[in-house]
Amino acid sequence: HLDSINCFTQCLWIFKKKPKDKSTNNHTYSPPSNVVCLPRTNQLESLLTIIRDENTNREDFIFCSDRIIRLLVEEGNEVNGVSFNGKICGVSIMRAGEAMEKVLRVRIGKILIQRDEETAQPKLYYSKLPPGIEDRYVLLLDPMLATGGSVIKAIEVLMSHGVKEDKILFLNLIAAPEGIQAVTSKYSKLKIITGFIDQKLNEKKFILPGLGDFGKPV
Ligand code: URA
């Protein structure tokens, strides 16, 4: 069990072995200017190493991913300045995005998007958005940005409810260049705040090296 962040991260800094190729940032890809990647601190690298490790237990996975989500939210505050506070809400893309909700102390909405079996396109199945969302900044939550299909659909839903594109911040732990390109080529005014940009997608559209299926019960 991990007692405190400080003790925990200090121990990791001392004892941590350098990860092999798992945490190497993707230096060959430079994202567009509306993408903010968390600074590569020792703490972030340690947290990512733990959540990528298939031997990490559920409790530690949740502890470490929550810590990264907090860093993403703090980075969002930093990027948007003080006026941002008080006028925000969160919207999670179900189901994986729901794991990011508890770190936020704001009103939360939900969007469920799934692949339509006939068209293979992302389809909206359910949405419940906070009242007055059109006047708020929206922290859109989904831990893994893979192809970008679901988040593009979610952004369409938000904008059809009057949310301005430049008031959307999409927070995710790990992003693939393919997903970043898909989202930013359509939307250049919103912001993507990510923990790490990985190398690519595999043939099953999973992020490499990624962390496998974020929502899979351990
Ligand atoms: N969702 C996941 O959980 N993992 C990926 O790599 C891509 C999407």
The 10s digit of each residue's pLDDT in 41-81 is: 999 999 999 999 999 999 999 999 999 999 999 999 888 87
Residues having CB closer than 6 A to ligand 1 are 144, 146, 206-207, 210, 213-215
Q: Is residue 158 in a domain?
A: yes
- Counting ligand 1 atoms within 8 A of each CB, the residue from 206, 208, 211 with the most, and so the one to mutate, is 206
Pocket test for ligand 1, best of 174, 213, 216, 218 (most atoms within 8 A of CB): 213
Nearest to 112 by CA among 131, 133, 91: 91
* Residue type at 22 in one-letter notation: K
71 belongs to a structural domain: yes
Range of the domain at 140: 32-208
Amino acid at 188: S
Specify the residue with its C-alpha closest to ligand 1, atom 7: 206
How many structural domains does the chain have? 1
The pTM of the full predicted model, rounded to 2 decimals, is 0.87
Q: What are phi and psi of 131, to 5 degrees?
A: -65, 145
ipTM for the predicted complex: 0.95
Q: Is the predicted pLDDT of residue 15 greater than 60, yes or no?
A: no
Q: Of 20, 7, 54, 49, nearest to 196 (Cα)?
A: 49
Q: How many CB atoms lie within 10 A of CB 168?
A: 22
Collect all residues with Cβ–Cβ distance below 8 Å to 215 and sequence separation of at least 6. Answer: 95, 96, 99
| Cis amide leading into 31 (omega within 30) | no
Is 90 within the bounds of a domain? yes
Helix (H) or strand (E) holding 174: strand 168-175
The answer to whether position 2 is within a domain reads no
The residue whose C-alpha atom lies closest to atom 2 belonging to ligand 1 is 213
% helix, strand, coil for the chain, step of 5 = 40, 25, 40
Q: Per-residue pLDDT tens for 182-204? A: 999 999 999 999 999 999 999 99
What CATH number is attached to the domain comprising 184? 3.40.50.2020
Atom of ligand 1 nearest to the CA of 210: 6
Q: Is 1 part of a structural domain of the chain?
A: no
